[in-house]
Amino acid sequence: MKDIKLEFLISEIKKSQQGNKLLIVTDRNVEKFYIRHIENLFKNSKIETQSIIFEPEEELKSWQNVMKILSILENKNFSKADGIVAFGGGTIGDISGFVASIYMRGIKLYHIPTTLLAMVDSSIGGKTGINTLKGKNQIGSFYSAYFRVLETEFLKTLDEREFRSGMAEVIKYAFLQSTIIKEVEQYFNGNKFLGKNDFNFFKESLDFLKNINLVDILESFNFNEDEICFDDIKFNAPSEEISLNSEAFLFNEINNSTFTIINKCIEVCSIMKRLVVKLDNKDDGIRKILNFGHTIGHSLEKSFDYKITHGEAVAMGMKVETLIGMRMKISSKETFIKLSQILQNFKLGNESFLNLENEEFKNKIINNINSDKKINGQDIDLIIPVKNNKVIIKCIEIKEVKEILMEILN
């Protein structure tokens, strides 16, 4: 999978696709800002576009919506030669990927991520999923996009809360960096038969990652909301089509150095995710580390009926999982403090939203751990941070996790 810019979108799709139909799956917010722009791109080409627009919410990842997308594909006679464009954040990516993987046993999928979270994480690696009453991503598949278009200009219309939510995944990668470097190095040095492309990819990625420290970048990141001016952007942005390079877009309002840092974060995280997925495509081994913060995070998301964002839940999840690590004498207090401070830079990981007073709510959080996909019989794999941006995968009895969690919540 490679990243391409929007201007090459049509020619790349033309090259890769024999059919002439594309279904654009998106949500109401993305539609408002960009759908005309995307549709216009295809106007003078042979490709015919249709769009399906969902309400922007986690609940869009449902069976009912899968059926809606499938019925459009059938009714409009989409063939295997046609394709689906996932145009939006992680929710849109997850449901579009799932449908693309099952319609006619798989049609071409193109990701155009529009949130920070989707750019750094969810649009890479081919995990798709929808939620059920039991929990998040209970049904899904592994299905990689044919390519993804990385255009960071989309971030200009993202609201502050969603920007912070994406930063939670960036912070997660920062705390995984040394483990990823070590694992990739071992694989690279021990594998004498890599093809030229893989050899170059591993070598260049390792050289790049060894010269950059994401934790250092995030520690020094001075997140100044006044400077970023998200509200102004929302207020001023025309509700109709936006020309991606127009001045109305207000990108200039944002200090260049801030955006240089955000772009750097996207680059570093994308490389880390690609490396991990190359080593373990199906989540059987090292890929599990990407779940740091997600066991508790998913449980929180469900307990809050998805009224908190994925990133907010993961941020709190990383803190709680580090606390569990401390109780087990694996994580140090210094690691916890460093994590908390970096999260705090982005107003993430605030304990008050655990609603500690409410017994029933505490039980809900604890019991919702039961729907975690990483449960294996009586045990669960938790990702616990150790020193210097390293983590370990620790198999723990669920009973023990619940007991520690109860202590922490009290």
SS3 assignment, position 397:
strand
> From CA 103, how far away is CA 128, in angstroms rounded?
14
Distance between CA atoms of 79 and 81, rounded to whole angstroms?
5
Binding region for ligand NAD (CB under 6 A): 27, 29-30, 33, 56, 58, 61, 88-92, 94, 114-115, 117-118, 121-122, 125, 127, 136-137, 154, 157-158, 162, 165, 309-310
Question: What does the alpha-carbon distance between residue 269 and residue 119 come to, in Å, rounded to a whole number?
Answer: 9
Give the residue among 201, 217, 223 at the shortest CA–CA distance from 264: 217
Residue 92 beta carbon to ligand NAD: minimum distance, rounded to whole angstroms? 5
Contacts of 54 (CB under 8 A, 6+ apart): 25, 26, 27, 28, 60, 65, 92, 95
In terms of CB distance, is 157 or 331 closer to ligand NAD?
157
Sheet of 375-376: strand order equals 375-376, 379-386, 390-397
Q: Least distance to ligand NAD from the beta carbon of 24, Å?
A: 14
Q: Report, in Å, the least distance between residue 336 CB and ligand NAD.
A: 23
Is residue 232 exposed (0-12), middle (13-18) or buried (19+ Cβ within 10 Å)? exposed
Nearest distance, CB of residue 86 and ligand NAD, angstroms: 10
**C-beta closer to ligand NAD: residue 234 or 327:** 234
Q: What is the DSSP letter of 237?
A: S
Closest approach, Cβ 46 to ligand NAD, in A, equals 28
Min CB(206)–ligand NAD separation in Å:
23
Nearer to ligand NAD, 185 or 280 (CB): 280
**Cβ closer to ligand NAD: 82 or 94?**
94
Residue 115 beta carbon to ligand NAD: minimum distance, rounded to whole angstroms: 3
Helix (H) or strand (E) holding 378: none
Q: What is the DSSP letter of 122?
A: I
Looking at beta carbons only, is 189 or 281 nearer to ligand NAD? 281
Q: How far is the CB of 357 from ligand NAD (least distance, A)?
A: 28
290-to-2, 185, 199, 298 alpha-carbon distances in Å: 21, 18, 23, 13
Considering the complex, state which of residue 161 and residue 387 has its C-beta at the smaller distance from ligand NAD.
Answer: 161
Sign, CA dihedral 207-209-212-213, equals negative
Whether the CA torsion 199, 118, 90, 352 is positive or negative: it is positive
Residue 137 or 335: the one with the smaller Cβ distance to ligand NAD is 137
Q: Which C-beta is closer to ligand NAD: that of 26 or that of 177?
A: 26
How many residues are there in the chain? 410
